[in-house]
Amino acid sequence: MTSTALAVLGAGVLVAGCTSNTPESAGGGGGGGGGQAASPNDEAGETVRIGFSAPAADHGWMAGISQAAQAEADGYEDVELSIAEGTNDVSTQISQVETFINEGVDAIVLLPFDGAALTPVALRAMEAGIPVINVDREFNSPFAAQATILGDNYGMGVSAGQYICEQVGDKPDAVVAEIAGIDSLPLTQDRSQGFADALSECGLNVDNRVAADFTVEGGERTAANLLQAAPQIDAIWNHDDDQGVGVLAAINNAGRDEFVMVGGAGSANAMREIQGGQSVLDATVIYPHTQAADGIALARLIVQGKSLSDLSSQGVPQRIVLDAPVVTADNVDQYIDAAFES
């Protein structure tokens, strides 16, 4: 794991465990709403009206984002959450945020379809005195959000590469393949760079690389091409468990099982494959779908003037980068109940 992720991991965990005011977890959220730690944050305060906007739930991870955000809000009796309909149209999402501003919500949690395109309207919200919590895809101005919560894309690649080094690093001629997501996206570039950097530490490199599109169909098509081009593979990292459904279908159709495979994002169906022990899928690297849930928790604290109860410093962190742990058969039971469905 990268040093950046480790430096702020504790803060991300604290958000989940120390901000709720209900005795039972709402289930499926970011871990908040559990009331596990007794602190002033557990006491219901003034009602906080939060507007939430995210892209369309056309992907298991994105659907999990919105579901976890709603579950988190349900865990607080003093939170009213208004969820805009998911959209991949930038103009529509801008209009949604403008509506939140006009309605005078207390805070906005925003996972932008395009961080740069949504920056101006986020700035307007901040200028109107409405704190914005930026989730997953960053704005291009530090003034557009009061707090930012991110997954660690580079760290995902590092985690996947380190795991593959552990599995096949003793084979100097091991053939490593990579099935990336959309190459034009910075997140894909970051994941690939982290993967290459980690592999280099054990003397390996990516021998065969293809890019899909984060869909089941794209994963199957791209993996089929990869398997035809590479008659021998020792390890594969697939960036995304949704496209991994198609990747596994292509592997099964080709009758290939000579390699270990690592997935990405941490879907429930991937974890079931790992639990079953009969698949080439040996592990998956989590990219938290609980980022917006943590955003809800932070928004509540900010509006109510509270701090993270387990930190000495006042206020909430300006930037949180969440961990990218590797899930294997040894620890899958720890993660599967909270996983999203592809």
Is residue 339 domain-resident? no
Residue 334 lies in a domain: no
> Which residues does 254 contact at the CB level (< 8 Å), separation at least 6?
224, 227
Q: 145 and 7: one domain?
A: yes
174 part of a folded domain: yes
Alpha-carbon distance of 9 to 7, in angstroms, equals: 6
Through-space distance between the first and last CA atoms of the chain, rounded to whole angstroms: 25
Distances, alpha carbon 104 to alpha carbons 30, 54, 78, 91, 126, in Å: 26, 19, 17, 20, 12
Tell me which amino acid residue 164 is: I
Tokens of 185: 């996206």
Residue 192 sits in the same domain as residue 176: yes
Q: CA 292 to CA 306: how far, in whole Å?
A: 19
Does any domain span residue 329?
no
CA distance 50 to 299: 7
Per-residue pLDDT of the chain (342 residues; tens, 9 = 90+): 333 333 333 333 334 334 444 433 333 443 344 444 456 787 889 999 999 999 999 889 999 999 999 999 999 999 999 999 999 999 999 999 999 999 999 999 999 999 999 999 999 999 999 999 999 999 999 999 999 999 999 999 999 999 999 999 999 999 999 999 999 989 999 999 999 999 999 999 999 999 999 999 999 999 999 999 999 999 999 999 999 999 999 999 999 999 999 999 999 999 999 999 999 999 999 999 999 999 999 999 999 999 888 888 888 999 999 999 999 999 999 999 999 998
What is residue 302's predicted lDDT score, i.e. its pLDDT? 96
DSSP E strands, 26-153: 48-53, 79-83, 107-110, 132-135, 147-150
Cα dist. 117→57, 88, 137, 184, 292 in Å? 19, 12, 11, 16, 19
Judge if 90 and 102 occupy the same domain.
yes
If asked whether residues 21 and 74 sit together in one domain, one would say yes
User: Does some domain include residue 338?
Assistant: no
**Whole-number pLDDT of residue 309:** 80
Do 61 and 32 share a structural domain?
A: yes
Angle (CA) 131-134-135 rounded to 5° is 140
* Claim to verify: residue 260 and residue 137 sit in the same structural domain: no
Question: In sequence order, what E strands does the chain have?
Answer: 48-53, 79-83, 107-110, 132-135, 147-150, 176-180, 206-211, 235-238, 260-265, 281-286, 319-321, 326-327
Predicted pLDDT at 157:
98
On whether residue 233 sits in a domain, the answer given is: yes
CA atoms within 13 Å, Cβ hemisphere of 144: 21
In a domain, 114, yes or no: yes
Q: CA–CA separation, 178 vs 192, rounded Å?
A: 8
Closest CA to 338 of 28, 65, 60, 75: 28
Contact 268, 28 (CB under 8 A): no
pLDDT recorded at residue 42: 74
Residues 141 and 191 in one domain: no
Q: In the listed set 286, 312, 335, which residue is the last one of a domain according to the structure? A: 286
User: Which range marks the domain in which residue 297 is found?
Assistant: 3-151+289-323
Is 242 in the same domain as 300? no
Q: What is the pLDDT of residue 277?
A: 94
How many structural domains compose the chain? 2
Alpha-carbon Rg for the chain, nearest whole angstrom, is 20
With respect to residue 333, please indicate whether it lies within any of the assigned structural domains.
Answer: no
Same domain (yes/no): 139, 44: yes
Are residues 230 and 217 located together in one domain of the fold? yes
Q: Are 141 and 172 members of one domain?
A: no
* 180-219 as b/e: b if 16+ CB within 10 A: bbbeeeebbbbbbebbbebbeebebebbebbbbbbbbebb
* pLDDT given for residue 197 in this prediction: 98
| pLDDT, position 261 | 98
Given this model, what pLDDT does residue 202 score?
97
Pair 171, 301 in one domain: no
CATH number at residue 214: 3.40.50.2300
